[in-house]
Amino acid sequence: MLSNIPLSAANAMPQGILIVTGIIIAAIVVLAIILTFVPLGLWISALAAGVRIGIFNLIGMRLRRVVPSRIVNPLIKATKAGLNVSVDKLEAHYLAGGNVDRVVNALIAAQRANIPLEFERAAAIDLAGRDVLEAVQMSVNPKVIETPKVAAVAKDGIEVIVKARVTVRANIDRLVGGAGEETILARVGEGIVTTVGSSESHKEVLENPDSISQTVLNKSLHAGTAFEILSIDIADVDVGRNIGAQLLTDQAEADKRVSQAKAEERRAMAVAREQEMKAAVQEMRAKVVEAEAEVPKAMAAALREGKLGVLDYYNMRNIIADTQMRESISKMGGNETPETDKK
């Protein structure tokens, strides 16, 4: 029978199969592209959850470089929770760089806790860089912040080391523009230093640590912050170094060094003065020797001029010799006197 089939029909059969196969492959490729570009499964999930969103809206999200799942899934969650949030607001928040899922979770948590929170404020808090969900949770369940060890010195010079626990609650109305936890810790530390520093003795702080909490709370340290301080509890109080005694010791050591320097200066001046006096003595001795050298010259001039006779000269020499003899005898007598007394 195959011999009865015309040759043209036999050649046409493979060509027809190739065309049909090409059409099927092209259809599959086009369908794959459509399914990839159009989130059909996400659209079906939204319809099943009762969220009315058009397929062209999802295609528009693709064109605007928005991930549809980042918008549709939070929208489904908000709809199931009974929140009235539009797709445009969620998409605008996503395009602004916000976390849509976290904002929706915060709105749901605020609704369950009966905390008034609108989408615009939640979006603003999220765009400000704060965790809006954590803020809502802190409004329901206050957070305890533990301060580092704060060292302060009482008036008696004793160091007191204090550690406190601060219980704070988030204030949603001041989350935008309000100071953070670092400011709270800094202000509490300042209050601790002020309270301990105004105490007359470190014993007062040890006996009544509640005075620190009362003083700090009375200063309204949460003003201008994103939190409200509920309580300040002193967790630990330790006695540190005796700063006053150490300062006095350092001052005494400094005074000692100053006195030693001044004494060394006076000693150096005394040594210099002694050397000056020795030089002055040598100078005076030189003058005496010089004056004694002038005596023979004066006597010779007096002899030449006839003002001094030879007999007068010999009488003067005799007197000098007699004086020297008396001096030598007196010295000998002074040395022998002790031996005579012993006999």
* 157 token code pair: 């010079």
* Domain identity same for 134 and 158: no
- For residue 242, tell me if it sits in a domain: yes
The pLDDT of residue 247: 78
The pLDDT of residue 79: 85
* Domain identity same for 51 and 164: no
* Domain identity same for 30 and 108: yes
pLDDT in tens, 229-283: 888 888 788 887 877 777 788 888 888 898 889 898 888 899 898 888 988 888 8
Give, in degrees to the nearest 5, the angle at Cα 26 between 25 and 29: 85
* Domain identity same for 168 and 68: no
> Closest Cα to residue 89, out of 39, 140, 48, 127?
127
Domain end: 123, 140, 157, which one? 140
Domain end: 211, 246, 281, which one? 246
- The CA dihedral of 309, 310, 311, 314, to the nearest 10 degrees, is 130
* Domain identity same for 37 and 109: yes
Q: Which residues contact 160 (CB under 8 A, 6 or more apart)?
A: 151, 152, 153, 154, 196, 202, 205, 206, 237, 238, 239, 240
* Domain identity same for 74 and 31: yes
* Domain identity same for 72 and 84: yes
d(CA 181, CA 202): 29
Domain end: 196, 212, 246, which one? 246
pLDDT in tens, 209-230: 777 778 777 777 777 787 888 8
* Domain identity same for 83 and 166: no
d(CA 71, CA 134): 21
* Domain identity same for 132 and 23: yes
Domain that holds residue 242: 143-246
> Closest Cα to residue 295, out of 283, 308, 281?
308
Amino acid at 262: K
Check: CB of residue 46 under 8 Å from CB of residue 72. Answer: yes
Mean pLDDT over each residue of the chain, to the nearest integer: 78
- For residue 342, tell me if it sits in a domain: no
Q: For residue 5, is pLDDT > 70?
A: no
Q: What does the DSSP assignment read for 43-111?
A: HHHHHHTT----HHHHHHHHHTT--HHHHHHHHHHHHHHT----HHHHHHHHHTT--HHHHHHHHHHHH
- For residue 29, tell me if it sits in a domain: yes
Using alpha carbons only, how large is the chain's radius of gyration in Å? 56
Q: Is 134 exposed, middle or buried (0-12, 13-18, 19+ CB in 10 A)?
A: middle
- For residue 60, tell me if it sits in a domain: yes
Q: For residue 12, is pLDDT > 70?
A: no
Highest mean pLDDT among 152-156, 178-182, 298-302: 152-156
The counts of H helices and E strands in the chain are 13, 4
Helices (H), 129-242: 132-140, 181-197, 202-207, 210-217
Domain count, the chain: 2
Could you tell me the pLDDT band of residue 342, with boundaries at 50, 70 and 90?
Answer: very low
Share of the chain above pLDDT 70, in %: 87
- For residue 77, tell me if it sits in a domain: yes
d(CA 60, CA 82): 26
* 47 token code pair: 């319809």
The pLDDT of residue 13: 52
- For residue 341, tell me if it sits in a domain: no
> Closest Cα to residue 53, out of 65, 62, 43, 45?
43
- For residue 36, tell me if it sits in a domain: yes
* Domain identity same for 39 and 149: no
The pLDDT of residue 38: 65
- For residue 269, tell me if it sits in a domain: no
Could you tell me the pLDDT band of residue 301, with boundaries at 50, 70 and 90?
Answer: confident
The pLDDT of residue 172: 79
* Domain identity same for 99 and 34: yes
* Domain identity same for 110 and 206: no
Q: For residue 343, is pLDDT > 50?
A: no
pLDDT in tens, 36-83: 656 666 777 777 777 777 777 777 777 777 777 788 888 888 888 888
The Cα-based distances of 207 to 72, 109, 148, 195, 237 in angstroms read 61, 44, 22, 14, 10
Q: Is 151 exposed, middle or buried (0-12, 13-18, 19+ CB in 10 A)?
A: middle
Q: What is the CATH number of the domain that holds 152?
A: 3.30.479.30
